[in-house]
Amino acid sequence: MPNDPVGLRDIVLHTRSNGCRRISELHKAYDPLCNQYPILFPFGTDGCSLQLKISSGHKIPELQCYGFHFSIKPDNFIMWTRKLLEQFIVNAYAKIECGLLQYLRHQQGKLRADS
């Protein structure tokens, strides 16, 4: 991994058994692992990802997942974090945009139309 190009927002974990492991910002563990948000994910629960599914097997878009996190409810302590919440919202937006751009990059062959 030392010679691999790492994205600007990826996290590199140094594990005890496997050495280094790179976590993409699109991975479900990115939000709780990010050094800035341990208070938002105190139990290490997964964050939002492209592969998040509900019990029926349907995928949930990241935008809808973050919408759930940012919904105003009496027991939603995330809304009490103020400045940290603002930073989390900006990072969530950047993560969603990165996912959309990555999709477009990998689907260019299918999306390209003849002119």
How, if at all, do strands 19-23 and 11-15 pair?
A: antiparallel
Q: What are the sequence ranges of the domains in the chain?
A: 11-111
Measured CA to CA in angstroms, residue 44 lies from 68, 70, 106, 111, 112 at distances of 17, 18, 30, 37, 40
pLDDT at 27: 72
Task: Kindly tell me if the per-residue pLDDT of 1 is higher than 50.
Answer: no
pLDDT at 6: 45
Give the residue, 42 or 50, on which the prediction is more confident. Answer: 42
**Close Cβ partners of 43 (under 8 Å, ≥ 6 residues apart):** none
pLDDT band at 32 (very low <50, low <70, confident <90, very high): low
Phi, psi of 62, deg, nearest 5 = -60, -40
Task: Kindly tell me if the per-residue pLDDT of 90 is higher than 80.
Answer: yes
How far apart are alpha carbons 5 and 72 in whole angstroms? 39
Phi, psi of 40, deg, nearest 5 = -80, -25
Strands (E), 28-75: none
SS3 for 29-70, per residue?
Answer: CHHHHCCCCCCCCCCCCCCCCCCCECCCCCECCHHHHHHHHC
Give the residue, 16 or 51, on which the prediction is more confident. Answer: 16
What is this structure's pTM? 0.63
